[in-house]
Each structure stands twice: as structure tokens, then as C-alpha cells.
Amino acid sequence: MDKLKLTSQLKRLIIDVNGIKIGENLIVIAGPCSVENEKQIVETAIAVKQAGAHLLRGGAFKPRTSPYSFQGLGLNGLKLLETAKKETGLPIVTEVVDTRDVDTVCKYADVLQIGSRNMENYSLLKEVGRIKKTVILKRGKQATLFEWLNSAEYILAEGNPQVILCERGIRTFETYTRNTLDLSIVPAVKESTHLPIIVDPSHGVGKLSLIPPMCLAAVAAGADGLMIEVHCDPSSAVSDKDQQLTPKMFRNLMDRIRRLQTVFLNG
């Protein structure tokens, strides 16, 4: 296997997304699993903004395990994200699943997400390597750190240096949680690459009660940010309804994150 070339620069990368410095201060990306309708995305966006989130997430193109599950609103979903951005000023993070959609998604997104299932989709990686926007690259559910960093190399090698890694759980023998959140990867990433790393405990554990403690643990482990699913009415969600926090739970969690941060700032 060839050596990694571009993912191990000496200077830590700080990525500026609309004035938000990722890699410098802890950032929180929050929002629903899927964009469903205007009321849902705008209400959720306002709630997460008020609680202190820095960026809004929401899937318009959804990579689903079953072809019969909701696949996302596509272009209409992107337009609804634009409305939510106008209402709140929050930059948009949304997934692209197909090389043919990269240009369209770029028109609406501030940050493009490559999902776990596409970590090894090399043509998609090359395509987002040619754009001038930040890319969040989620870890494949069976990927080693080396394989994950090689996927990041694909993007960097095409000329896009703005890559954020996102741990979202890996597959193990454990079935109590949706995945096994590998928090040891956070310091491992820190000692292996200059790229920022964020953690998505929502997909990592898939269970409401476990998400807040894993968010706090990720911050304690040194993560540069968190991605958290929040929905204004989780019981009506069309995807991942069991792992989306209510706005109230999210506010409470953000308070706890801020309290934890003061420990580090004072220590």
C-alpha cells in the first residue's frame, strides 16, 4: 500500500466556514436526520440556533439501507435548507450521495457531507476533491484509520484541502447500540493527521439516553466538534426517529457541554 502523503501536514488545519473556525473552537452541527417540510426544518433550525449550534444539518439526499425507505426530498430539500439558512443565518451541512448531484448540492450547501456508506466511493471522493467547499468525510462502518485517511487523500489529491473527519461509529459484535462509537479514534486522528475531527454520537449509538454522555466524552477526548440529530418533533420523524433529540434535550445538552468546556479552559 502506498504511503499517505497529504493527510499529515505539520500545521493543524483550521477551516473557516462563514467565519466559524473549525479546528480552533468546539463547533456543534445540529439538525434533523432528514429535511421533511418547511415548518419542520425552520422550527428545528431556530431551536438549535437558540441553543447555541453553529451549523445546521439536514439530509436532502438520503442514503438508506432499504430502497423502499424515504430517500429524501432532493432539490426541494435543498431549497428548504436555504429557507432555514435565511431565517437563522446558520450555514448548511448536507449530504451528497451521487457524483451527478455535486454541483447542485454545492449551490445550497456550505459544507458537503460524504456519508459512511460512501467513504469508499472513490469517484464521489474525487468529485468533491474538485470543489471549493469544505467536506465532512464520515468514517466507513468497517474502515480502519488508515483506510479512512486514504479516502481523505483522494479528496486532498484532487486539490481540495478542506476536509473534516467525522467518527460515527463502527460495526462490532455489540447489538445494544446501533454502532460502536470509537472515541479512541479521536486522539488517534490527532496524532496521525492535521485534519479536524468531529464526532456524531447520534448515529454512533442510535439511542437517546446514550447520546448526551457520548457527546461529553467526545469533547473530553479532544474532538473539534459534534454532529447531533435534533428534530422539533422526533416522534413524527420520517427517518431515525429513535435517535433525534428534542429541542429541550438539546438545550440541556448544550448547557452541559459548555460547563464541561469551562473545566478545560480553566485547567
Q: Does residue 135 interact with ligand PEP by CB under 6 A?
A: no
Q: What x-and-dash track marks residues 46-65 binding ligand PEP by CB under 6 A?
A: -------------x---x--
Q: Does residue 225 interact with ligand PEP by CB under 6 A?
A: no
Q: How far is the CB of 20 from ligand PEP (least distance, A)?
A: 19
Q: Which DSSP state fits 16?
A: E
C-alpha–C-alpha distance, residues 217 and 15, integer Å: 23
**Residue 168 near which of ligand PEP, Mn ion, none (CB within 5-8 Å, type-dependent):** ligand PEP
Q: Going by DSSP bridges, is the β-strand pair 134-138/163-167 parallel, antiparallel, or unpaired?
A: parallel
Q: Does residue 203 interact with ligand PEP by CB under 6 A?
A: yes
Residues at the interface with Mn ion (CB under 5 A): 33, 240
**CA nearest to 203, candidates 176, 167, 233, 256:** 167
Please write down the long-range contacts of 125-128, taking CB distance under 8 Å and 24 or more positions apart.
125/151, 125/154, 125/155, 125/158, 126/154, 126/155, 126/158, 127/99, 127/102, 128/96, 128/102, 128/155, 128/160
Q: How far is the CB of 198 from ligand PEP (least distance, A)?
A: 11
Q: Does residue 128 interact with ligand PEP by CB under 6 A?
A: no
**CA nearest to 29, candidates 115, 130, 96, 113:** 113
Strand-pair partners of 37:
none
**Residue nearest Mn ion, Cβ-based:** 33
- Choices 40-48, 112-120, 191-199, 215-223 (CB under 6 A): range interacting with ligand PEP: 112-120
Q: How far is the CB of 267 from ligand PEP (least distance, A)?
A: 32
**Close Cβ partners of 147 (under 8 Å, ≥ 6 residues apart):** 119, 120, 140
- Choices 38-46, 110-118, 188-196, 254-262 (CB under 6 A): range interacting with ligand PEP: 110-118
The DSSP line for 180-234 is B--TTHHHHHHHH-SS-EEE-HHHHH--GGGHHHHHHHHHHTT-SEEEEEB-SSG
Q: Does residue 33 interact with ligand PEP by CB under 6 A?
A: yes
Nearer to Mn ion, 33 or 156 (CB): 33
Nearer to ligand PEP, 43 or 95 (CB): 95
Q: Does residue 140 interact with ligand PEP by CB under 6 A?
A: no
Q: What are the C-alpha distances in Å from 182 to residues 22, 171, 235?
A: 21, 10, 28
Nearer to ligand PEP, 10 or 142 (CB): 142
Strand-pair partners of 20:
17
Nearer to Mn ion, 72 or 129 (CB): 72
C-alpha–C-alpha distance, residues 206 and 107, integer Å: 31
Nearer to ligand PEP, 85 or 168 (CB): 168
Among 116, 121, 134, 150, binds ligand PEP (CB under 6 A): 116
C-alpha–C-alpha distance, residues 172 and 25, integer Å: 31
Among 138, 237, 244, 257, binds ligand PEP (CB under 6 A): 138
Q: For binding to ligand PEP (CB under 6 A), which residues are involved?
A: 33, 59, 63, 95, 115-117, 138, 168, 203
